[in-house]
Structure 1
Amino acid sequence: MLDMAQVKAGDMVIDLGSGDGRIMITAAQRHGAQGFGVEIDPRLVQRSNEEARRLGIADRVKFLRQDLFSTDFHEANVLTLYLLPDVNLALRPKILAELKPGTRVVSHDYDMREWRPDAEETMPAPDKKVGMRKESMVYLWIVPARVEGEWTFELSSGGKTRRTRLVLQQRFQFVSGSVELTGQGDVPVSYGRLRGEELRLMLPPGALDRGPVELVGQVRGNSLSGTVRRADREVAHWNAHRRN
């Protein structure tokens, strides 16, 4: 789970359903991270804190017995989940509302239904006690920025700037919409996807060029900026500002 989330030194990791503490302890020992685990069983919380003290990492790792839904995890760079499927789904709105775009969320065995994972892996689990299969699924999500709305879109090329309207709809990390172009009306986005604060939009042939073009940009609150790419070559720059 930690490798899949690419945990590194300085990351703030929060482990929900921390059990015996092994995920959080490994994050600190092997990856140089800090953070805390949340667990409902007081015996496991006590045992995990004792183990952190024994290993000399209690200054970077602690374990708490508290309600998952009242836990403040907005500072996390990585959120790990070892929870039941209905708890994952109940936490989903809080995760999307509180975590920063780009935060990595990793779940053991259970997904989040309509919020499709950005990556998933099957891992051997010979000691697994639940179910018949001796393997586990691990799911990774990258919290997407919010881009839904109407934007003023500016395209700069050859010393000239064109200004028009960009309308985006969003379903988790997947984006659809249209851009208004002179003589063409509203041209639909043929593909759109977010990975944290990185936005990629594909426009069909004939929209800005004879072939398809890709808009690659970064989201910064109500601003977007990036480059127009054609056949992996940058051909123009663009930016946008949200109107609503």
Structure 2
Amino acid sequence: MTISLQLALIFLGVAIVVMGMLWIFIPVLSGLPWVPTHLKRIRKALELSALRPDEILYDLGAGDGRVLVQAARQYGARAVGIELSPTHCVLAWLRVLLSSVFNRVSIRWGNFYKMNLGEADVVFAYLTPAHAMRLRPQLESQLRTGSRVVTISANIEGWEPSAFDSGDLIFLYHMPPKPGSLVSFLAKEACPPSQE
């Protein structure tokens, strides 16, 4: 084995170890583990958001890019993924590169709390309730009227959802959000106002 081949193998081994460590430590440090969303749930969430062709979808914590590819492929949207983990950025980039929609998708490496989300028509986020609350002021200050926020498993406290899928815990909010809660939404659904 030549020295250059040995060096290449050592470099490859070190790169794999570093990427593996980043895979583990970034979720631990950020408090947001990577939990891949099932395709059926992604489709329901995108349908609930009423995503239209050429709208811009931001996926906060894009993981392996499956939401981005689905939004671009099924809806003709332009999709932007923001991901903190460089390992997941590489996975998302590879998924997008191998798809037929790579020209409609971009991946940004960084912390979504520090990025401007103002160009988004739809924001997709699979967060814990604590992280959804931390994101709330940013959404309120940056998103335009008519933008939509769709969250998986995390109700945004103080906002009344515009729609809710109880089977898959998908919440939809229109900007600006209505003050209220999931309880007020469910009460209105259970007892709609009479139309006399």
TM-score, reference length from structure 2: 0.66
1:95 aligns with 2:142: no
Q: Which residues in structure 2 correspond to 1:154-169 (within 5 Å)? A: none
Unaligned runs of 5+ in 2: 1-44, 181-195
Q: Indicate the residue corresponding to 2:16 in structure 1.
A: none
Equivalent in 144, 148, 154 of residue 104 of structure 1: 148
Letter in 2 for 1:67: N
Deviation track 1:183-210 (CA, whole Å, cap 9, x = no partner) reads xxxxxxxxxxxxxxxxxxxxxxxxxxxx
Q: Indicate the residue corresponding to 1:48 in structure 2.
A: 92
Q: Which residues in structure 2 correspond to 1:72-151 (within 5 Å)? A: 72-123=116-167, 136-144=168-176
* Deviation for aligned residue 1:96: 0.7
* Deviation for aligned residue 1:47: 1.1
Name segments (4+ residues, structure 1) moved above 2 Å: none
Percentage of identical aligned residues: 26
* Deviation for aligned residue 1:35: 2.2
Q: CA RMSD in A?
A: 1.8
Identify the structure with bigger relative contact order (alpha carbons < 8 Å, sequence gap 6+).
2
Deviation track 1:144-169 (CA, whole Å, cap 9, x = no partner) reads 2xxxxxxxxxxxxxxxxxxxxxxxxx
d(CA) in 1 for partners of 2:179 and 2:106?
A: 36
Bigger strand share: 1
Letter in 2 for 1:142: H
Bigger helix share: 2
d(CA) in 1 for partners of 2:161 and 2:179?
A: 11
Deviation track 1:76-95 (CA, whole Å, cap 9, x = no partner) reads 11000112211110110110
Asked which structure has the greater CA Rg, the reply is: 1
Deviation track 1:187-237 (CA, whole Å, cap 9, x = no partner) reads xxxxxxxxxxxxxxxxxxxxxxxxxxxxxxxxxxxxxxxxxxxx7xxxxxx
- Any conservation in 1 of the 2:158–2:179 contact (CA below 8 Å)? no
Q: Indicate the residue corresponding to 2:74 in structure 1.
A: 30
Deviation track 1:49-75 (CA, whole Å, cap 9, x = no partner) reads 111111132221022220111111101
